Structure 1
């Protein structure tokens, strides 16, 4: 049994925490529970709100939805390419900037600049660059390489978004790696040199294993961010996911069903719930196979 003093201390603590708990309940826990509730109902919000319980019908509908399969495939392909590429690029950039090269502070600032630009503005800039008469095609033509209809060709539209996101997100993870590299003891590299290791051996057998926990964090953050791709795809395609559903992602499809179609809010909530399960499963698998045990 709690003493009167313990009860008083607990009451004071929860009183002080109540504003934060209220915000979490109202803006985090509440919406999650409401979304789960909607996923089991057919929802009609216009012309008088109505909620008709349909059980698992919204979830079984996903299996027969062609556009949902396309969106899932596009998202999976995007994740599979962007996450490893941006992780490796961030690590290479961080290792390069940590090598004591001349002017490294200047290059750290230059490399980090893409991260400071808002996603919407960055997308508009790249749309101008990807125009058929834009900068990218001019550069490709100058070097005698083939040009592309980056915005209108279904075979390259998603690749255009991938390139843009890798370029803009790798610098953020580069800073994380750069901070972690400062903590690697010089004695490890000195020992490797005594054993005859060259620069590549030191990077592969000392730097990479030592940064394994950091890499796990970077990959998890990358997974969460890439699975939630929305704004770039929306702006590139004008909200349609085109051309020919080439840039349609799961989150964009959820938006379309939730706000552009009547009576499909519950189905959109089911898609959102299914996406959350996929992200949790992918994160769990990554943590399971990353072998995050400390090496130091």
Structure 2
């Protein structure tokens, strides 16, 4: 058996001592709450008044299968993810490629494009609510050019799409900056060789730029998946916390908020919904990573 020297033990102790504040914060605010949520998901929890934990095994998870609002929230969230993630990724790539092409005033446009990312999500939502209003900017423009107006905030068929448009516009600039940084690493010799072979701009983009950015695209897609699955604030502000109209903007995180903080005795069920959402995000991320690895083999 190999014994550690006193110096090695002392150095290790010093290292853990300096790491202890970070480890304490990690344990208290990340690892601890994760295990607490798992614990609550198997209990009927009463936190207000007399605190109680009644073990119910998998009853909270079985309730999800019979909860119509949970199924609607899951479908809304799934539809939101499937549409927003590809759109914001493609838009970010196109914006980055355009700004990297050496156009005049590209520094100015980089600043302008990035401004939505610097704005508070709540402020952006309020601005878009004003634009989507019956007498707002968009309907006034539509009416001025003779097109029909829409009740963006009150029509169940349009409300979620309105949030999608807002989020695509506001999140694409963040990923655009990531793509811009990655574009700087693509060797110019690849484009020069393609030009000698007679490739045009679109062919160079599809045959060189897109394949070279595949690892970055994988990262952007994963970050987009995680972010879109956690949609809450925009849906909450748009609907006043109800998820309306007619549950059309109800998401899983908003439903968790309603069960956790508006309905007494349903904290355990809310924890089960959170755990289910975490598993869905984990599975979606693993699937996306698997596809990206398979693509990198070709």
Structure 2: distance between partners of 1:292 and 1:149: 44
User: What whole-Å deviation, never above 9, does each CA across 1:161-210 have from its counterpart, x for those lacking one?
Assistant: 00000010001101110111111110000111111110000000000000
Q: Distance in 2 between matches of 1:93 and 1:141?
A: 30
* Alignment partner, residue 156 of structure 2: 154
* Superposition deviation, residue 232 in structure 1: 0.2
Write out per-residue CA displacement over residues 67-95 of structure 1, whole angstroms, 9 at most, x where no aligned residue: 00000000000000000000000000000
Match of 1:185 in 2: 187
Q: Where does residue 237 of structure 2 map in the other structure? A: 235
1:167 matches 2:165: no
Which sits farther off after the overlay, 286-295 or 244-253? 286-295
Q: Give 1:36's aligned residue.
A: 38
The superposition leaves residues 125-152 of structure 1 with CA deviations (integer Å, 9 ceiling, x where unpaired) of 1111100010011122233332110000
- Out of 66, 82, 102, which is 1:80 matched to? 82
1:252 match: 254
Q: Distance in 2 between matches of 1:253 and 1:293?
A: 36
2:118 to 116, 119, 143: 116
Residue of structure 2 equivalent to 1:202: 204
Aligned equivalents of 2:101, 2:210: Cα separation in 1: 15
The answer as to 2:266 corresponding to 1:269 is no
Query: What displacement does 1:293 show?
Result: 7.4
1:27 aligned partner:
29
Within a 5 Å distance, the mapping from 1:283-294 to structure 2 comes to 283-291=285-293
Match 1:139 to one of 138, 141, 144: 141
Once residues 274 and 13 of structure 1 are traced to their aligned partners in structure 2, the CA distance between those partners, rounded to angstroms, is 37
Extract unaligned runs of 5+ from structure 2: none
For 1:107 and 1:142, locate their aligned partners in 2 and report how far apart those are by CA, in whole Å.
Answer: 29
CA distance in 2 between partners of 1:144 and 1:172 (Å): 35
CA RMSD of aligned residues (A): 1.1
Specify the SS of the correspondent of 1:291.
helix
Distance 1:144 1:194 in 2: 50
Q: Does 1:128 align with 2:109?
A: no
Range with bigger deviation, 191-200 or 64-73:
191-200
Q: Counterparts of 2:174 and 2:67 in 1: how far apart (Å)?
A: 36
The secondary structure found in structure 1 opposite 2:190 is helix
> CA contact under 8 A between 1:58 and 1:266: conserved in structure 2?
yes
Unaligned runs of 5+ in 1: none
* Separation in structure 1 between the aligned mates of residue 141 and residue 113 of structure 2, nearest angstrom: 21
For 2:208 and 2:68, how far apart are their aligned partners in 1? Answer: 47
Tell me, in whole angstroms, the C-alpha distance in 2 between the residues paired with 1:289 and 1:58: 33
**CA shift at 1:3, angstroms?**
1.8
**Pairing 1:216–2:218 present:** yes
Other-structure match for 1:107: 109
Cα distance between partner residues in 1 of 2:283 and 2:243? 26
CA separation in 1, counterparts of 2:294 and 2:114?
A: 27
CA distance in 2: counterparts of 1:237 and 1:142, whole angstroms: 28
Indicate if the aligned counterparts of 1:213 and 1:293 stay in contact, CA closer than 8 A: no
Residue of structure 2 equivalent to 1:57:
59
Number of the residue aligned with 1:91: 93
